Amino acid sequence: MGADGEKAAQEGSANPFLAADGVATRLTIERLTAARIDPAPLLAKAGLSRPKRAGAPQRVNAEGQLRFLEIAAEALDDAALGFRLAQTTDLREIGVLYYVAAASRDLGQAVRNVVRYTTVANESLRLEPSQAEGDTVLTLRSRLPRRASRQFSELTMTVLLRALRDLAGKRFSPTSVTFAHGRNGDKAEIDRFFGRSVQFSAAADAMAFPTTLLSTSIGTSDTYLLNILRAQCERTLAERGKVSSSLQAMVESEVVALLPHGRAHVDTVARNLGMSPRTLARRLADESASYGGVLDDLRRDLARRHLKDGSLSLNQIAWLLGYSEVTSFNHAFKRWTGGSPKSARARGAAPGG
C-alpha cells in the first residue's frame, strides 16, 4: 500500500484512530475556498487528505479534523470560526443524526436518540445527559486530547442548540452554557446567540435547559422513518463494535476536566477510567508513557494556549493548570522553557509555540 493509501486507511480506521463524518472538514474547506485560501496545505498540516469530490461525504480522522479547524481559524484570522460555521450550515448537512432527531416524537425522544447515536457521526464524541435542579444537562465528552478542540467544541454546541430550537419550533435560551476553553476578546456575539452569558474556562463543555422542554412535540415526527433510521444506526454501531482510543488520550481528557479543581490526582483519574492506579501505570507504560509525563506535557501545551488568550491573567492560568499558587506555575514554566510566563507573553511566545 502506498503512502496515500496508508493515510486513507488510517483516516477511516476506528482503532486506534477515531473517525468522524467529516462535515466540519467540508464546511471549513468551503469557507477557506470562499476566502481564496488554498485548503490543501492546511489539510496536509492537519494530517488529512482532500476529499476526492467536492461536497462528497468522506469520513476523516477525528483528531485531524480538530487540528484542521484550529489551523483554518488562524489562516482566516477568525477566532470564532467553529461558532460561525455552525450558524450558517443547513442542519440537514449533519446527516442521519439530524434526521433521527427530526423524526422523533418529542424533544425528549430526540435528545435520547442523539445521545445514543452521537458516535455514529463522530466516534470520538459522546453526549452525557444528567439532571440538575429541574434542568437537563448535556455534557460533551471527548476521547481525544482537549488541547486543540476549541473550534469544534463551539461548532458542536452551537449546532446542537440550533437543532433543538428548530425541532421545538421556538427560540428558547439555555439556563447555562459552559466551555472548558478560554476565549480571547469579545464574546458578545456568542452570548447573543445562546441568549445568555456564556461561561468560558469552565470544567466542561455543557449546556442546560429546562426539563419541561422535553415534552415539546416535534412537527416532523415520523414513526416509520424513525424505525428505519434507528435500525440503520444500530447496525452501524454493531459493525464498528466498541470504539477505543489510546489510553493516553483518555487520560488527557480526564485530566483537563479535573485540573481547575486541583483534583487531577492519579487515583481520581484511574477511578474515573474504571481501573486501579497500578493498572493505569502499567497500561500507560505499554504506550511508552507515564501519568506524570502525560500531566506535565498537557500542562505545558495548555500553558502555551492559555498565554495566547489576553483575557486570562497569570493567576487564572495557574488555576486552570491545577496550581494552587502562581509561583508554582512560574517554577514549572521556567523548567519547561527556561523563562517566565510573563516574559513569554510579552514576547508573544510560549513553550513549544
C-alpha 124/C-alpha 253 separation (Å) is 11
Residues 204 and 139: beta-carbon distance below 8 Å: yes
Q: What is the pLDDT of residue 9?
A: 35
Confidence band, pLDDT 50/70/90 cuts, at residue 15: very low
Q: How far apart are the C-alpha atoms of 103 and 117, rounded to whole Å?
A: 14
Q: Between 261 and 181, whose confidence is greater?
A: 181
Q: What is the pLDDT of residue 350?
A: 46
Question: pLDDT of 195-213, one tens digit each?
Answer: 999 999 888 899 999 999 9
Q: What is the pLDDT of residues 168-196, one digit of tens each?
A: 999 999 999 999 888 866 789 999 999 99
Q: How far apart are CA 173 and CA 161, in angstroms?
A: 9
Max Cα distance, the chain (Å): 64
**What percentage of the chain reaches a pLDDT higher than 90?**
46
Of the candidates 138, 147, 275, the residue with the CA atom closest to the CA atom of residue 214: 138
Residue 240 has pLDDT above 90, yes or no: no
- CA nearest neighbour of 15 among 234, 231, 249, 232: 249
Task: Kindly state the cell numbers that stand for 117.
Answer: 447515536
Cell output for 68: 484542521
In order of their start, the domains of the chain are: 1-77 (no CATH), 79-238 (no CATH), 247-347 (1.10.10.60)
What does pTM read for this prediction?
A: 0.69
Which of 208-212, 266-270, 326-330 is predicted least confidently?
266-270
The pLDDT of residue 11 is 34
User: What per-residue confidence (pLDDT) applies to 53?
Assistant: 60
Average pLDDT in the 11-39 region?
A: 80
Residue 41 makes CB contacts below 8 A (sequence gap 6+) with none
Least confident of 14-23, 179-188, 231-240, 291-300: 14-23
Separation CA 185–CA 311 (nearest Å):
7
Task: Look at the block and give the residue holding cell 510566563.
Answer: 341
pLDDT band at residue 255 using 50, 70 and 90 as cut-offs:
confident
Task: Find the Cα–Cα–Cα–Cα dihedral 38, 39, 41, 46, rounded to 10°.
Answer: 160
- pLDDT band of residue 17 (cuts 50, 70, 90) is low
Determine the residue type at 264: A
Alpha helices by DSSP H, the chain = 3-12, 23-34, 39-46, 62-76, 81-88, 96-102, 107-121, 150-168, 188-194, 223-240, 247-258, 266-272, 277-286, 291-307, 314-320, 326-337, 341-347
Q: How far apart are CA 60 and CA 13, in angstroms?
A: 9
Most confident of 15-19, 192-196, 263-267: 192-196
Q: Is the peptide bond before 16 cis (omega within 30 degrees of 0)?
A: yes
Question: How buried is 118 (Cβ within 10 angstroms: 0-12 exposed, 13-18 middle, 19+ buried)?
Answer: buried
CA distance 100 to 19: 20
pLDDT of 120-174, one tens digit each?
999 888 898 998 889 999 999 888 866 668 899 999 999 999 999 999 999 999 9
What is the Cα–Cα distance from 273 to 256, expressed in whole angstroms?
Answer: 14
The mean per-residue pLDDT over the stretch 260-270 comes to 83
* pLDDT at res. 254: 76
Mean pLDDT of 322-329: 90
Return the pLDDT at 185. 67
Give the pLDDT of residue 250: 74
